[in-house]
Amino acid sequence: MSLSSPYQDPALCRALLDRLQTALDGRELRFMEVCGTHTVSIFQSGLRSLLPKEVTHLSGPGCPVCVTHDAEVAAFLDLAGRDGDLLRVPGPGGRSLKHAQAQGARIEIVYSPLDALNIAAANPDDTVVFLGIGFETTAPTVAATLMMAEQRKLDNFCVLSLHKLVPPVLRALLDDKDGCDVQAFLLPGHVSTILGLEPYGFLASEYRVPAVVGGFEPVDILQALCIMAEQRRDDAPAVVNAYQRAVSDQGNPRARALLETYFMPSDALWRGLGPIPNSGLALRPAYERFDAMKRLDITLPDVPPLPGCRCGQVLKGRITPPQCPLFGKACTPASPVGPCMVSTEGSCAAYFKYMT
């Protein structure tokens, strides 16, 4: 990896590592990141091998493909039967959208929800369903697409909204009595460009857990870890923005306004974590004509978990990927069993690529 950026400067990284060691002063720091890009960056940069022995890195539910529930994948397959990465996520019986596509289902990969809207315009006699997954980062673009569908009167377009919200899952992780004892959070940079800092405030005020919004370069990550360790040393937990070149403390008000207009919080299923109240986004009643769930009478079935797969335990930080009995054996990137090995941002895929 080229170390040309000042945010990758070896001397600065070494100084931050020294600062981190001093702040730790022998204390343990178990931090969790909840962003697939952070997962990959930490492995790719080699930081895991440089961190002090007192620091434990946990990868949480920050990969949108990984947290898509088995029942949601089953609903995708049912929808495909009627008429990227997500295509390869196994569902019931090991089938995936890729299998459904090979069997004749009309499925297209798009790089923006606007592409799906254009497909709807080009096929006025067909109902086009956009599968909406992901966090607060991507949901505003779906809201903007719904606004354009209204303007263009494209009533053959609809959205299966299975978006997830980050703050509620952080609360669920901390409330889990059998959890992994998270002591600090490295907050997601991309999501925070939309949210800002305020939605995370409960982490410090209610749970007294340090939380730092961090960027993705080695210097960004090390700076965030230093701030976490110093907060723990001083018993002064706070939510801090350490990624100010990209994230405003107030977030993006226009994007949040779009979300507020078209979506409302709803209960959601998370792989490995189950149902979490108000952790998803459903379309508001005024836009039900665009809601694939209601329009096509889609229900989420009861689906047994994938045999042997322990992605849920990985997403909770209870185990590391190599502790799953399928890891590197029955489950590899070429032939994945669970979603954490499917996604390029999944922790299992990262472990496999950089640690084996």
| Mean pLDDT of all residues in 322-326 | 95
**pLDDT tens per residue, range 79-101:** 654 444 433 444 455 544 444 34
Per-residue pLDDT, 79 = 66
The residues, any chain, with a CB within 8 Å of residue 6's CB and separated by 6 or more, are 12, 219
| Mean pLDDT of all residues in 200-227 | 97
Strands 157-161 and 263-270: unpaired
Q: pLDDT > 70: what percent of the chain?
A: 89
| 3 pLDDT above the threshold of 90 | no
pTM score > 0.85 for this model? yes
Band (pLDDT 50/70/90 cuts) for residue 4 is low
Q: Is 163 helix (H, G, I), strand (E, B) or coil?
A: coil
| Mean pLDDT of all residues in 130-146 | 94
Torsion sign over Cα 256, 260, 261, 267 = positive
Averaged confidence pLDDT in the chain = 89
Per-residue pLDDT, 78 = 66
Out of 47-61, 109-123, 140-154, 282-296, least confident range: 109-123
Band (pLDDT 50/70/90 cuts) for residue 343 is confident
Band (pLDDT 50/70/90 cuts) for residue 110 is low
Band (pLDDT 50/70/90 cuts) for residue 257 is very high
- Cβ atoms of 159 and 146 closer than 8 Å: yes
Give the residues across from 282 on adjacent strands.
264
Band (pLDDT 50/70/90 cuts) for residue 126 is confident
Across the chain, the runs of DSSP E, i.e. the strands, are: 29-33, 55-59, 128-132, 157-161, 184-187, 211-213, 239-241, 263-270, 274-283
Per-residue pLDDT, 100 = 38
Per-residue pLDDT, 304 = 82
| 338 pLDDT above the threshold of 90 | no
The residues, any chain, with a CB within 8 Å of residue 2's CB and separated by 6 or more, are 8
- Cβ atoms of 87 and 107 closer than 8 Å: yes
| 103 pLDDT above the threshold of 60 | no
Q: Is 57 helix (H, G, I), strand (E, B) or coil?
A: strand
d(Cα 137, Cα 71) in Å, to the nearest integer?
23
| 157 pLDDT above the threshold of 60 | yes
d(Cα 42, Cα 47) in Å, to the nearest integer?
5
- Cβ atoms of 57 and 51 closer than 8 Å: yes
Question: What type of residue is 142?
Answer: V
The residues, any chain, with a CB within 8 Å of residue 335's CB and separated by 6 or more, are none
| 194 pLDDT above the threshold of 70 | yes
**Which among 89, 91, 39, 46 has a CA at the least distance from the CA of 66?**
89
| 40 pLDDT above the threshold of 80 | yes
Alpha-carbon dihedral 339, 280, 182, 333, rounded to 10 degrees: 10
Residue 339's H or E segment, with its range, is helix 339-342
| Mean pLDDT of all residues in 146-160 | 95
Q: 202 — phi, psi (to 5°)? A: -60, -25
Comparing 291 with 181, which gets the higher pLDDT?
A: 291
